[in-house]
Amino acid sequence: MKVELLVRSGCSSCAQAEAIWRLVVDEREFELAVLDVAEAAGSTRAEQLALKAVPAVLMDGELKAVGVVCIQEARELTQAAPLKAHAMLRRMGMFFSVENRWFIVSAQVYLMLAGIGLVLNGSLLSDSASRPAFLHLFTLGFLLFMIYGLGAHMLPRFTGNPLVEGSTWSWVQMGLAHVGVTAYAVGYFAGWQALTLGGAVFAWCSLLIFLLRVWPVLWPNKRS
Amino acid sequence: MHKRNRLFVSIALVYGLLGGLVAILRLIDPALIPGNVPRMHGHIMLLGLILMMIYGIALHVLPRFGGFPLYSERMADWQLYLANAGLPLMIVGWLTFIDGWVIAGGLLSYAAIILFGLNMILTVRAARSVSHES
């Protein structure tokens, strides 16, 4: 993606537009060219488009806006461009991110479900056929979700290396884990082997995603 | 974070994937893996994933929470070696039905547990004695 910003020296709104686009180009991967219409390249471009006013924004040669676009509009115009690596670094504030908060909350729900099952239908007095379902609600549901939520929160702080990715993969991981645990437990209860197997595969994939997310945190590439 | 503690966490996650894979293969066909597979899966997940994760995190945070350095880095290093010698031995024992390997692996894993427990107790006690003196 190439963004051309046509400006004129001495125009205050042009300076403002350029400042905004400099911020956006720092966030996303696209090429930004600032062309002064008082110079040859800029004036040729303005003549081609019969432009009368600046600043003007061209995207891949097509006129997109005339006048100063606010930063939000600029971000929307360039949202197809990928984020730059440094813009994808996750914040390392004190508090849980939304997804880690959900991991912890989900863990408590699975703990309560597992507890009910083990008391009512589990192995306190005798083994029951549904014991594996409740056992895995505890291990996959409670323990693994706690590891997910606390691990993604604490490991970047312990190592000083932020998670280098957007939040998309953590949500994918969470979706796979929820589907996995639920399918596993329901499959066991209902005696549907294929559903149990599918649940196990989903839960395994969620663990693989978690490992891939935190590996660069634990073992960062020294060159980067 | 100390390299040894990062190793504990990394190895824990790898054991988690391995234990999950064992369970998936058994669900596909119980004859695919020989040996005492349910026991192997349970121990890979509990001793491999959960305990190694606790080792890595606890060795990092407990000294900090206690406000005193870890009592012995050497004990923690040996804990890493013993835990990671013990569990593979147990796995091989279950795969091959050789109880001696399972017992030997169990003893090594237990030795790692003892080292961890003592190291943590001595770390927390050291912190306590300092706070009492002051």
- Tens digit of each residue's pLDDT (9 = 90 or more) over B36-80: 899 999 999 999 999 999 999 999 888 877 777 888 999 999 999
Under an 8 Å CB criterion, which residues of B touch A?
Answer: 1, 5-6, 9-10, 13-14, 16-17, 20-21, 23-24, 27-28, 45, 49-50, 53, 57, 60-61
Q: What pairs with residue A3 in β-bridges?
A: A32, A59
CA distance A165 to A85: 8
Q: Are A137 and B44 in contact (CB under 8 A)?
A: no
Decide: pTM greater than 0.80.
no
> What single-letter DSSP state applies at residue B104?
H
A223 pLDDT tier (thresholds 50, 70, 90): low
Residue A174 above 90 pLDDT? yes
Q: Please name which of A165, A29, A169, A151 lies closest in space to residue A90, comparing C-alpha atoms.
A: A165
Test A158 with B1 for CB contact under 8 angstroms: yes
CA distance A176 to A106: 13
pLDDT tens readout for residues A51-108: 888 999 999 888 888 888 888 888 888 888 887 765 555 555 567 788 888 999 999 9
Q: Are A188 and A196 in contact (CB under 8 A)?
A: yes
Q: Is B35 left (phi over 0), alpha (psi -120 to 50) or beta?
A: left
> What single-letter DSSP state applies at residue B47?
I
- Our CA-based measurement puts residue B114 at a distance from the nearest CA of chain A, in whole angstroms, of 23
> Where does chain A have alpha helices with state H?
12-25, 40-49, 71-77, 85-88, 98-121, 131-136, 144-159, 168-190, 193-218
Domain range holding B112?
3-133
Contacts of A127 in chain B (CB under 8 A): none
CA–centroid distance for B67 within its chain: 24
Contacts of B60 in chain A (CB under 8 A): 158
Considering its fold, how many domains does chain B have in total? 1
CA distance A174 to A26: 30
* Average pLDDT for chain A: 84
Test A204 with B24 for CB contact under 8 angstroms: yes
- Would you call A47 exposed, middle or buried from its count of C-beta atoms within 10 A (0-12, 13-18, 19+)? exposed
Q: Could you give the domains of chain A?
A: 2-88 (3.40.30.10), 98-218 (no CATH)
Q: How far lies B78's CA from each of A16, A43, B69, B85, in Å? A: 62, 73, 17, 10
Chain B residue with Cα closest to A135:
B42
